Amino acid sequence: MNGQRTGRISNLVLACCMAASSRGAAPQNSRAQSPAELRQQVLDLEKEWVNAEVKHDSATLRRILDDKFLASFGPNEPRDKETFIKNITSGDVDSTESQTLTDRRVVLDRDTTVVVGTDTVRGTENGAPYTAVYRYTVTYIYRNGRWVALAEHLVNVQKAN
């Protein structure tokens, strides 16, 4: 009897291990949704991120950015999630009036997506209007049932007043 019980427990443990390892092989969403749907989810998240930056919405930024988030801007020192949020949300809310994302290219590979695009920022600084154009690369990961931003790199490609 003990041998049968031990055998059943061993089989149960083995089945659980196999199920757990197969679940880690791909995000659940990739099996249920098409690549086009996943791509659109990430592009929609980018729109939400842009709106949160313009509105200085720290709660939304905290939800969108992974706890391991890291941002780099040209040659400057990288910023972690909380430093990034503090820099975005401090200052005058009206300083950035809009951000327009264009030329976006999306690479989707299972639970990772990379977006490369152009971000045109319009606003006012010291009372004068400005337009700045940046090339960005953002890496998103599918974690805990949703997409989050893991890293961003931004480079100023044009600045006009």
The whole-model pTM stands at 0.76
Place of tokens 């910023």: 79
| Token pair listed for 97 | 């009036």
Q: What pLDDT, on a 0 to 100 scale, did the predictor assign at position 13?
A: 36
Per-residue pLDDT of 109-129, as tens digits, reads 999 999 999 999 998 888 889
Who's near 33: CB < 8 A, 6+ residues apart?
41
Give percent above pLDDT 70 in the chain. 76
Model confidence at 79, pLDDT cuts 50, 70, 90, reads very high
Residue 14, pLDDT above cutoff 60: no
Range ranked top by mean pLDDT from 10-14, 74-78, 145-149: 145-149
Per-residue pLDDT of 49-72, as tens digits, reads 999 998 999 999 999 999 999 999
Under CATH, which architecture does the 33-160 domain have?
Roll (3.10)
